[in-house]
Structures are given as structure tokens and as C-alpha cells.
Structure 1
Amino acid sequence: MKLKVMPLLLALTANAAPLIYAKDAAPKSTESQAKLPDIKGLEAILKRFKAVELKVDLSKFPESEKKALAKMIQASQVIETIYFRQIWSGNEAMKDSLAKDNSALGKARYAAFMLDKGPWSLQDDHKPTVPGAPHKPEAGTYYPEGSTKAEIEAWIASLPAAEQASAKGFFTVVRKDAAGKLKLVGYNEEYKPEIDTAAKLLKEAAALTTQPTLKDFLNKRADAFLSNKYYDSDVAWMKLDASIEPTIGPYETYEDEWFSAKAAFESFITIRDEAETAKLAKFSAELQGLEDNLPFDPKFRNPKIGALAPIRVVNSIYSAGEANRGIQTAAYNLPNDEKISAEMGTKRTMLKNVQELKFENVLTPITRIALAKKDQAKISFESFFTHILMHELMHGLGPSTVTVDGKTVTVRDRLQNNYSALEEAKADVSGLWALQHLIDKGTLSQEMEKTLYTTYLASSFRSVRFGLNEAHGKAVALQMNYLLDAKAFVVAKDGTFSVDESKIKGAIKDLTGELLTIQALGDKTKADAFAKKYMVMNPKIQAVLNKLTHIPTDIRPIFTTADELLKTYK
């Protein structure tokens, strides 16, 4: 069935039913009704995301695999409930209330709420879109309401070493006991009803599939949900070799803006593109050579990176939780567990159909406005796709730990609130450096250099539109401002941008070295200074963004194939 987005906006009125929330979910403070977007404002928010269908041909799949896929999609829907709860304690109650409001305004608010998985517009500095929304919590619901970052830091520091590791771990929340004392609670306890249901569905999917490594991963991930111990299932996921590539569980830490420690639930259900995966396999063999040549002090380079670095090119049929909120993920590099990364490397997954839709519907139209005429023909999907791949590969290279006072701690732990944005910036610019290194080496064609940097520039405008309240948007602002200062990006009198080919390579190498050094030293002071200087909106960039308002910021997926599977295999 072909679904259409926003028919509800064709005949909207200003009348809306009152919102009702559960008593314990009532927000402490609300924004004035006058500040909320009206019908036209909500329509503008939704129009930024172009509705596109995600279709994948499953005609050659046996019934057993289609049935297993349906179970995985159902499990994904369950874990999305957890994700809503991780964002804000009142999120579920507000969602349920909005769903019952059949007025035109109520439907519009519900659509905006579901787009951003909460009552704030992620592209508008988290401004509220729904009455009753408090200021967005900086650290979701991972820590007790009313607590402060300093309070949590002091409590963690008071714990024995083993408990400190758990407190800083991905899979626990901090709560207060009956006496008001802080304590740790595992995800398997905090989200028990949903965890139990999702585990059951994954077990059922495992029983249906005939693919051994897929069966192994699904069983072990179900066990991990129940035990809160994810190591074995992460290993199984790294070894997964099947036509179906599910990624489901708690992974990214963007929502924890205090410590970048707690993992949000998400899911990608994808189908492997065998031909494209085979084409990119050669990059795995290049990783140690890239690590050995990273442009910073050689003493920080890793002489032996993880041996296994699988690259998967897939087509997405369904995503949920963190994976389907606002800006759509184009690729990912997981797991984030430094132990797995050290032992096995990480897996890079490229969502090819998602990237094609972004290139066609967003990047290409931006090029005609943002770039100088002489550069507008110098973009290509190959450069776009390959840079995204290299971005994900570079997440696995460079420093991940640092020694402080004789103790080994993670870079994430040292840089805290600025870790995610700096890591995204590092992956972007070191990815460009790496591609140039491979071009110079002869591994990649010299032809790619003709489109590599202009495609990157156009894509930077695409990404900086994500906003400076989001790690990727901050990261791109940092890069663009640095490269403008280095005169590697040039602004013409008409406001269009171009690349200075004589300066771009050196500037990219320099920025790569600076970011890697900050990470290698765990230098939070330098990280904070870098963020303050470069993670800002430059007026020259803003002037171009002002001309892009008619171009979608991103895509909004309609899961056509997934819907068909759920209808067929209820």
C-alpha cells in the first residue's frame, strides 16, 4: 500500500482537544501557548522531511526468512516504546494523549511529535511543538529527575572501581531508592515488560530462520536483553553473515548530553546488497595502513587494530527508536564497546537506498544554490557514498583510550559532553584524508579527486542544517568554520561557496591532526575551547541556509515493504 504524508494538513483548523497527561508524567514547567507553532508552522516543520518509500525486493526470499523478518520488525516496534521513555518521563503519556486528539491541529501536533519522537523540534533548537512540553532534558531519563551533573559525578567518584565502571556503562540507569539514595538499575530491570516481549519475538525469529549466523545472533541478542550482558551477542553480530542484517538494541549515546555514556535503543532491519558489499571488501585490508599513517604523533598510533572489520552494504526496510528520529541515518559503525573494538574491530554498515534518496532529494538541489557555477557539475554519488563509508571506517581508527594518572580511561569519558561532536568531526575529516591517501597510493582512481571535495562541501550544507543542538550538525559547523579560516573554502561576492584546490588537502590534514591529538591526550580543556570557537553558526553559512528553505532538510521513510510483511505474517 502506498502511503501519503500530510493529508491531515490539507484542511486544518485551529480547534484542538485539550491534552490530558498521567499525573506522574506532568511536566514541571511549560512553554507559553503563544510560542507554539500554529498550523502553518507545523506544516513547515513537516515539509522539511520529504516522504519517500523504502521498498526492497524480497521475491527470492523463502517464506521462513520473510516470517523471521516480520518478527524482527515487531521486536523493533517494542523497543521503540523504550526509546520514547528514555527521552523524557512524560513522553509516552503525551504521545498517547495526542493520538486521541482527532482535531486537525491535534493531528498535526501528533505528526510533528512522531517525527522527532518528542514534543520538541530538533531542527529548531529544541523549541516545543506541543503544549505542556518542558525544556528538553539534557540527559534524557538516564538519571533521576532533579539531579545535577555534578551530583551524579560526585556519586560515581565515591563508588568502588567495579561499580564505577557499571555506573559509566552503556546499559544502566541511575535511580533513587526509597531512602533517596542513588543506585544503579540495569536496562533489563528498568524496561522489563518491553525487554521480555522483545526477547520473545527475537527468539521466535531465530526459530524461523534457516541461516546459522543469523539464528545465533538473534538468540544471543534475546539472551542479552534478559541478562543485560551484551558482549556475546555483539561478537555474534560482528560474525553475522546472512542475507538479513538486523541491528537491534541499545547503541548510541547522543541523548546523554552529560556524559555520552548511556545507550539509547534503536533498530535497523536491513537486507544485504551482496554485489555492493563485495565491491567494498577491499577497504578492510587498508585499515592498518591508514592507522599507521594518521597525521599525528606516531606514538599514539595503534600498531595492531582489530583484526575483523566487516563492511556491509544494505538496503533498509525498517528502522525504529534512535534510528528513526528526525534526520535519517545513512550509515553506522558499531558496536561502541571499546573492548569489542580492540578485539575485533567494528562493523561498518552502509544504508545504500537511504543514501541514494538523500543524494537525489536533498544534496543535488542544494548544489545548485550553495556552490559556485563552476563547481556544480563536480559532485557525484560515488564520492558521496564512499566518503560516508570512510567516515564510518575512521570511527574505528585513532585513539579510543587515554592513560591518566596511570589509569586507562576512554576518550569518551574524558571529553564527555563534546565527545560525540568531536568524534563525528574526526570521522568526517579523517575520512577525506584517508580517501586522498588511497588516491595518492593508487588504490582509488584519480578521477575521484575531481569530485571528492566539492561533493563534501555540498554535503556539508546538507548536514549543518541538522542544527547546532545535534552532534552531527555541530561537527559540520566545526569543519566548515575551520576550513573557512584556512581559506580552503572560499565565499564569492554572490555568497556561493567553492573549494580552493591548492589549500583543501593541507587544511584537511591539519584539522585531522588537531582532532586526533585532542583525543589522544584526552584534553577536555582544548576540546571545550575548540567547540566554543568553531561549533557556531557562521553568518556566511547562514546566508546560504536562508536560501535553502524550499529544499527538504532530509527524508522521511515510509516503510512500504515492512508494512506488507506485517500484514502478510500477522
Structure 2
Amino acid sequence: MLPVAAMPQKKGRRISPELASLNAKIRRFAPTVITADVSRLSPGDRAALMKIIEAARLLDPLFLRQVWSGNERVKGRLEADNTALGRARLHYFLINDGPWSQLDENIAFIAGVPRERPPQSAHYPDDMTKEEFNQWVETLNDEERQKATGFFYAIRRDSERKLKAVPYSEEYREFLVPAANLLREAAELTANPTLKNFLNKRARAFLSNDYYESDVAWMELDAPIDVTIGPYETYSDRHFGYKAAFEAYVTLRDETETAKLARFSNYLQELENNLPIEPRYRNPKLGASSPIRVVNVAFSSGEGNSGVQTAAFNLPNDERVVNEKGSKRVMLKNVQDAKFNQILLPISRVVLNSTQQRDVSFEAFFTHILAHELMHGLGPQTIKLNGQETTVRKQLKETYSAIEEAKADITGLWALQYLMDKGVVDRRMERTIYTTFLASAFRSVRFGITEAHGKGIALQFNYLTDEGAIKFDERSRTFSVVPSRIKEAVRKLTHDILTLQAEGSYEKAKAMLDRYGVVRPQMQNALERLKNVPVDIEPSFPLAARDEKRRAR
């Protein structure tokens, strides 16, 4: 069923330019049913699944508050307007979790709010500058500094208007206490010991603000229900990339597909040992565990259901856990299926040279997304600068997310070529992997270059074009991969990105993004010809009996 705001108007009825514009924006997200097969779950696990979904629902209003201090006020105003225009505004507000259009460089689409989305989101006071924060951090001792720059502390002002760090467990207590209770209830219902362990420990983390033990328990989770819930990614902190946003993915494991991909974990240390960087920058001993899970989404919320939908992820982000336990790669197969068929194939017919269109395949799309997530866990993570241990994330600051997404993409291509050369991956994929990547570049850059994935893919596209690995045909206005140049160009960019990460060079990262992280005229022309192709999907979840975010539309 189409959302009300996107329904065609009755014949003869004129609509306002603003309503027409909003409907066009909404149509960029193809309504898509996302579901999973629960038939093999035990009765206890089915009951636990519903409790977990209830807990995950609480992260929608929590994340809305994290995005901007004025979000709840604006949402209330929009909900009170029952006109067609009011419903369209609310619909698009809920897609974006705020009054700024993520696909349009985070520019406001309603009046009475800041023109651009505040870079600090609500992680910091609205009136705080980066300079004020940096000066305050310099006055803190080591323990206080860790909190100020930590994932799980909001920055607020005290009664004297001085900055202070407030634990998430206190700042978002009204959501986290009931969420913790629901997770405990779910733990009572399941018989799976690893799921029970994770749910109980994550419930405790919501109240204690210490996520270490529950992150370890998440790494050890081995159950039909694979749940990811908590504060994870830092994309929304565009000031520093320090603060984590809440999200949830409630999923069911695809045992057959998971078994097929398990072999990739066996080659991670070998890939690390052969990265095209100086040997001193390689990690001789990766974390012990690197499980891969292929899952189907039953429900997602918070940042996990905001704007462009996630196709896969690699977590946790806590370097302590990564160094000790490794990281887990989770592939959202039903989401990827929808993106490939509804978005990528139509894009490829517009932007690719006709001679290469047949080389776009779901297998290549799926496998490169896996490689992308695998490579997030490889390369420089914890580094030493001037004798002091630090992390790439902290050194690259707001440039980190875009650089890291570019790194995962390009090193993913490098890794697949390495595995094809070894015979681990079928060499026939060499014909499809680069062409599918090229088509997918246009899919990702449409997310906007203010977004980490979009900016990261623009960087790669322009670098590879400058290296002669991507060719533009003026007559057909289409693009193609140059087979004789693509492998070396991928290796070279892999080297450049990994090296600047190993050096912790903020200056080099910023210079690279300034030069390459832009949309050039040839790409802009192609993007304009894609206006009738949806940019992404807008999911609905029938397994969640009350999908309130969808119902509000």
C-alpha cells in the first residue's frame, strides 16, 4: 500500500509546488516489504523475537532525539497537521529522522528549522563550537578525556554553562530502562544460551553505560535470532566522529548462506599480511574471531532505519574488543536482494556501456559487500604516534567515516582479486566484480556526498578515473571499466588510503577528500539521467505487528 502522501491526486485537483516536490522526494524511496521466515523458530524463540522487536522500537524515538534537539517539537507540529501537505511533510520527516533531506546534502525541506542539519547533531550543545570543545578537553585528566571523546557520553552544559560529559544511561534513561526490561524478558523466553547471555548483558549495559562485556557476548552470539541493538556508528557526529548513535537490527540467520561464506574468515590474516603497504603498518596478529553471518531482517530501527538502508555492517567499533575478539560481519541478504533488483539493475542500464551491462551480477554485488565488511576489520586500527597509542578514528576526526568507507570498498576489490589469483574465489568473477562495483558507485553517490558512503565512493570513482581505470564514452554518455588498468589503480588507491590511516594524517585525509570527494560534471550528468530510478528502498516490516514508523505515514 502506497503511503498517503505519495498517492496520485484526483483528476483535476491542483497540488501546491511544495507538495509536488515532497512527493517527488518520497518517490526516491521504493516502498518495499522486508520480512523473514520464522517457521523454524521454536515457540520460545518466537516469543523472544517479539520482545526484542518491542525493545528495538524504543530506539526510534531515542535516535530521533539524538539527531537534533528540536526534532520532537517539529514532529509534534507535523503530526497535528492533517492536510495532504502536512502528511507529506511528516512522511518525509520520518524517512529522514529529521527535517533535513539526506539525499539533498542535508538541506531543510520545511521552514522554521536550521537550513542545514547541525553537524554536531544533539550529541553536543547546539551553541558549542569545535574550538570550545577542544579547549575544554585540554583541561581534563585522562579519565575525563576518555569520557569526553568516548562513544557513550553526550556533552551537555552544567548550571554554570560549562561543558560536561553525561553517560547515555542517564541521558536516555526513559528509553533504555524499558528497553533493558524487555531484553531481560526476551532472555527468559529463549533456550539458546548465547542469545540469553547477550540479551542479559546488553540490558545491563543500557543501565551501566559499560558496553564491553555485552560487545564480547555479541561476538559470541550463535543463535537463530541474530540481534544487534545499542549505540554503534558515529556517522551522525560530523563534528568529531566520536559519539555513537542508537540502532537495532533484529534478524534471522540464513544458515545455508552463512555456511557458504565461512571460508572467507580463514584468509583474513593472510590478506592482512599481504596488504600493499609497508610491512610495519600491518597487524601480525588479528583478533581471534571473525565470524560472518548472513541474515534476513525482521525489523530495524533507530539509525538502522534512517534514510538509506544498511546492506551490511561490521561491528563492534570498540578497538579493545576488536583487538581481543576480532569483529563480526553481518550481511543483510533480503535488503541486498531488494537493492539489487529495484535499484542497481535499473541504474546499470542507464550508466554502463552496453558492452558491459551483462556483467552486472548479484553474486558480485553480494560478494563485494562481504569483502567491504571484512576489510573494515583489517588495516590500521590502533596506531602509535610520537610514542603514544591512539586510534585512526580519533586522529582523522570528521574525515574518518568517509575515508574508512572508501578504504573498505577499495581494499575489498583488492582482496577479492588476491583471492581470485589464489583460486579461493572463482576467477570468472573477475569479469563481473569491477563492472558491478562501477554500477554500484552510482547507486552509492546518489546518497549525497555529505554522507560518508557517498563521499567515499566519489573519492574512489574520481581517483580511478584519473588513473585511466574508468572510461567515459562521449557519444553514448556511458561509463566502462578499463580491464588493463583497473587492477593496478585499485592497488595504488588501497596503498594510499591505508598509508594515510597508518600515519594518522588528518591533513592527508582532508586533502584527499577535498580533491576527489566531489561530484564532477560527467558524473553529475549521469545522476541527472537517473531521476526516474529510485535511490533506495523504504522498508515495512510485517513481522512487527505494530510498525509505528510506517503507520505514521
Alignment TM class, shorter chain as reference: over 0.9
Deviations 1:196-250 (A, max 9, x none): 1111111111111111110110000000000000000000000000000010000
Deviations 1:420-470 (A, max 9, x none): 000000000000000000000111111111101000000111111110110
Find the counterpart in structure 2 of residue 21 from structure 1: none
Work out whether residues 244 and 271 of structure 1, in 8 Å CA contact, stay in contact via their aligned partners in 2.
Answer: yes
Find the counterpart in structure 1 of residue 545 from structure 2: 563
Work out whether residues 15 and 105 of structure 1, in 8 Å CA contact, stay in contact via their aligned partners in 2.
Answer: no
Q: For residue 558 of structure 1, report the CA deviation from its aligned partner.
A: 1.0
Q: Does 1:443 align with 2:441?
A: no
Work out whether residues 467 and 474 of structure 1, in 8 Å CA contact, stay in contact via their aligned partners in 2.
Answer: yes
The two structures have a TM-score, normalised by structure 2, of 0.96
Deviations 1:64-83 (A, max 9, x none): 21111111111111121110
* Alignment equivalent of 2:371, drawn from 390, 393, 397: 390
Work out whether residues 228 and 250 of structure 2, in 8 Å CA contact, stay in contact via their aligned partners in 1.
Answer: yes
Matches within 5 A, 1:447-486: 447-486=428-467
Distance 1:162 1:407 in 2: 16
Q: For residue 5 of structure 1, report the CA deviation from its aligned partner.
A: 3.0
Deviations 1:112-167 (A, max 9, x none): 00000000111111121222221311011111121100110111121001211111
Q: Does 1:123 align with 2:69?
A: no
Distance 1:410 1:8 in 2: 45
Distance 2:97 2:547 in 1: 24
Find the counterpart in structure 1 of residue 83 from structure 2: 103
Find the counterpart in structure 1 of residue 551 from structure 2: none
CA RMSD of aligned residues (A): 1.5
Q: For residue 4 of structure 1, report the CA deviation from its aligned partner.
A: 3.1
What is the DSSP-based 3-state SS (H/G/I as helix, E as strand, rest coil) of the residue aligned with 2:484?
Answer: coil
Find the counterpart in structure 1 of residue 244 from structure 2: 263
Q: Does 1:293 align with 2:274?
A: yes
Q: Extract structure 1 runs of 4+ deviating beyond 4 A.
A: 12-16
Gaps of 5+ in 2: 549-553
Find the counterpart in structure 1 of residue 8 from structure 2: 10
Q: Does 1:328 align with 2:309?
A: yes
Find the counterpart in structure 2 of residue 45 from structure 1: 25
Distance change (3 Å), C-alpha of 1:144 and 1:483: same
Q: How many residues align?
A: 544
What is the DSSP-based 3-state SS (H/G/I as helix, E as strand, rest coil) of the residue aligned with 2:104?
Answer: coil
Find the counterpart in structure 2 of residue 506 from structure 1: 488
Find the counterpart in structure 2 of residue 33 from structure 1: none
Find the counterpart in structure 1 of residue 504 from structure 2: 522
Distance 2:3 2:360 in 1: 30
Q: Does 1:373 align with 2:376?
A: no
Deviations 1:385-419 (A, max 9, x none): 00000000000000012222221111111110110
% identical equivalent positions? 51
Deviations 1:260-309 (A, max 9, x none): 00000000000000000000000100000000000011110000001100
Work out whether residues 327 and 377 of structure 2, in 8 Å CA contact, stay in contact via their aligned partners in 1.
Answer: yes
Distance 2:5 2:160 in 1: 51
Find the counterpart in structure 1 of residue 335 from structure 2: 354
Distance 1:14 1:133 in 2: 27
Find the counterpart in structure 2 of residue 497 from structure 1: 479
Matches within 5 A, 1:393-412: 393-412=374-393
What is the DSSP-based 3-state SS (H/G/I as helix, E as strand, rest coil) of the residue aligned with 1:377?
Answer: helix
Find the counterpart in structure 2 of residue 273 from structure 1: 254
Q: For residue 335 of structure 1, report the CA deviation from its aligned partner.
A: 0.3
Distance 1:564 1:227 in 2: 29
Q: For residue 194 of structure 1, report the CA deviation from its aligned partner.
A: 0.8
Find the counterpart in structure 2 of residue 241 from structure 1: 222
Q: Which amino acid aligns with 2:53?
A: I
Q: Does 1:182 align with 2:180?
A: no
Q: For residue 349 of structure 1, report the CA deviation from its aligned partner.
A: 0.0
Distance 1:105 1:315 in 2: 35
Find the counterpart in structure 2 of residue 68 from structure 1: 48
Q: Which amino acid aligns with 2:40?
A: K
What is the DSSP-based 3-state SS (H/G/I as helix, E as strand, rest coil) of the residue aligned with 2:329?
Answer: strand
What is the DSSP-based 3-state SS (H/G/I as helix, E as strand, rest coil) of the residue aligned with 1:288?
Answer: helix
Gaps of 5+ in 1: 17-36
Work out whether residues 306 and 343 of structure 1, in 8 Å CA contact, stay in contact via their aligned partners in 2.
Answer: yes
Find the counterpart in structure 2 of residue 19 from structure 1: none
The two structures have a TM-score, normalised by structure 1, of 0.94
Q: Does 1:413 align with 2:394?
A: yes
Work out whether residues 348 and 392 of structure 1, in 8 Å CA contact, stay in contact via their aligned partners in 2.
Answer: yes
Distance 2:334 2:234 in 1: 25
Q: For residue 7 of structure 1, report the CA deviation from its aligned partner.
A: 5.7
Find the counterpart in structure 1 of residue 406 from structure 2: 425
Q: Does 1:545 align with 2:527?
A: yes
The range that moved more, 72-81 or 432-441, is 72-81
Work out whether residues 41 and 224 of structure 2, in 8 Å CA contact, stay in contact via their aligned partners in 1.
Answer: no
Distance 2:9 2:41 in 1: 42
Find the counterpart in structure 1 of residue 187 from structure 2: 206
Find the counterpart in structure 2 of residue 114 from structure 1: 94
